[in-house]
Copies of this chain bind each other. A is one copy, B any other.
Amino acid sequence: MSEIGATAGGGVERQAATAEDGEVRTWFRDLLAEHGFDVRLDAIGNLFGIHEFTPGAPYVLLGSHLDSQPLAGRYDGAYGVLAGLHAASRIVARHRDAGTVPTHNLAVVDWFNEEGCRFKPSMMGSGVHTGKLVLGAALDTADPRGVTVREALARLELGAGASEIPALAAYAEIHIEQGPSMSEQGIAIGAVASTWCAHKYEVVVHGEQGHTGSMRMADRKDALLGAAHLVVAVNELVREFPIEALHTTVSELYVEPNSPVTIAREVRMLIDLRAETTAELERAFALLTERIGAIEEATRTRVEFVSSSVWGAGPFVERGVRLVEEASEALGFSHARVKTLAGHDATNVKDVVPTVLMFVPSEDGISHNEREHTTDTAMLAGLDVLTHVAARLADGALDRP
């Protein structure tokens, strides 16, 4: 699987709706068919494989995403989709052999564009599926070259489709942790009890073009200088909070006209703030706003907030967390309650359907990097726990009383 979009550094690059994403989707479609799942595509390009035990019964959905960051690792998302397929196949086989039928039907999913590097925002497929994003707006989203999601999906063998996925009874996702805590503590299974919240702001710093050689320093309105002060200020926000309680990043930045001899007139950037509670993020943003006033004055630039996207903190359903703990106990794997700092499709789905999210360790917490690694042993342990949990979900373990 990781030969598709393989990179020289041992990772993969399969950004959403690129040829490589298309290739891995086709590969996965064939794998679903081999395992007897019926393949469906919805209007935003989510790829489903469904197994119907009982016509009209709601579905337990398992999966994650097959798209990747640039020069990314092999495990982020891809592991969860593959594990979902194998867990569902095992459960189907068991019921076939036993001549039994679970309460719910089963399905596997590759959510479209979870990464959000080519098309913003991230978690787009699950966002549309859960009604958090409007389908038309998502399809009209353009990448930096101006290609829209609609156009990019139309170029794929498996792009957008017309299927409506039936009602969900529950969703379960397994993912690598992407942080170091489980790897450091030697924990096999993480039962995700809560998610951090994230506030992301698209910002434009406005300056004025001038000659880098002849324009007086005092007369300049250098948008890149303003932007540089802003990037530093965003980073320094963490000093106002307990250690590691606030994560802040600027990782995407575009300069206009980006000429070696012309002072920048405009810089566009994305500010990413994450913490356990919305209150902390609001305090961080208030502190940032104060600093921005000083930066505007010192650099004679203007900072404009053009858009923002948010996901809230919140717990995963307690009964689901316990299901993971019980499965780990039953199978003899070490486990702990963890939180997720990264966003996942489960972060969207949990707000509309009972959702279970579980982690396996990432070695040294390395992710979004070609050196991302999780051992086969750890992945197989995760698959066993996912299978155990999914079987109970199929039997109605999280159905409302």
Residues of A within 8 A of B (CB): 69-72, 115-117, 120, 122, 177-180, 196, 198, 200, 208-219, 222, 224-225, 227-229, 231-232, 235, 238, 243-244, 247-265, 270, 272, 274, 340-343, 365-370
Supposing A214-B177, A214-B179, A253-B253 touch, asked if A261 and B122 sit within 8 A by C-beta, the answer is yes
Majority SS of interface residues in chain A? loop
Sampled A-B contacts (22; CB under 8 Å): A69-B259, A69-B261, A72-B262, A117-B257, A177-B214, A178-B211, A178-B213, A178-B214, A178-B215, A208-B369, A210-B368, A211-B342, A212-B272, A214-B340, A214-B341, A216-B365, A224-B253, A225-B250, A228-B228, A228-B232, A252-B255, A253-B253
- Cross-chain contact of A260 among B252, B265, B342, B366 (Cβ < 8 A): B252
The residue of chain B having its C-beta at the shortest distance from the C-beta of A233 within the complex is: B228
With contacts A216-B179, A219-B180, A219-B365 taken as known, whether A71 is within 8 angstroms of B232 at the C-beta atoms is no
Residue contact B252 to A69, C-beta cutoff 8 Å:
no
Say how far A10's CB is from chain B's closest CB, in angstroms: 13
Chain B residues with CB under 8 Å of A209's CB are 69, 71, 368-370
User: CB-CB < 8 A to A270: which residues of B?
Assistant: 260
> Are A249 and B263 also in contact (CB < 8 A) when A179-B215, A198-B213 are?
yes
Please measure, in the bound complex, the distance between the C-alpha atom of A222 and the C-alpha atom of B234, giving whole angstroms.
Answer: 13
How far is the CB of A150 from the nearest CB of chain B, in Å?
A: 21
CA of A261 to CA of B257, assembled, Å:
24
Q: Is B213 in contact with A238, judged by CB distance below 8 angstroms? A: no
In the assembled complex, the Cα of A255 lies from the Cα of B144 at a distance in Å of 14
Given A179-B216, A211-B367, A366-B210, the answer on whether A259 and B229 have CB atoms closer than 8 Å is no
Most-contacted residue by chain B among A179, A211, A263, A343 (CB, 10 A): A211
B213 touches A196 (CB 8 A): yes
Contact B262 A251, beta carbon cutoff 8 Å: yes
Contact partner, A259, options B70, B212, B247, B258, Cβ 8 Å? B70
Whether A261 contacts B255 by the Cβ 8 Å rule is no
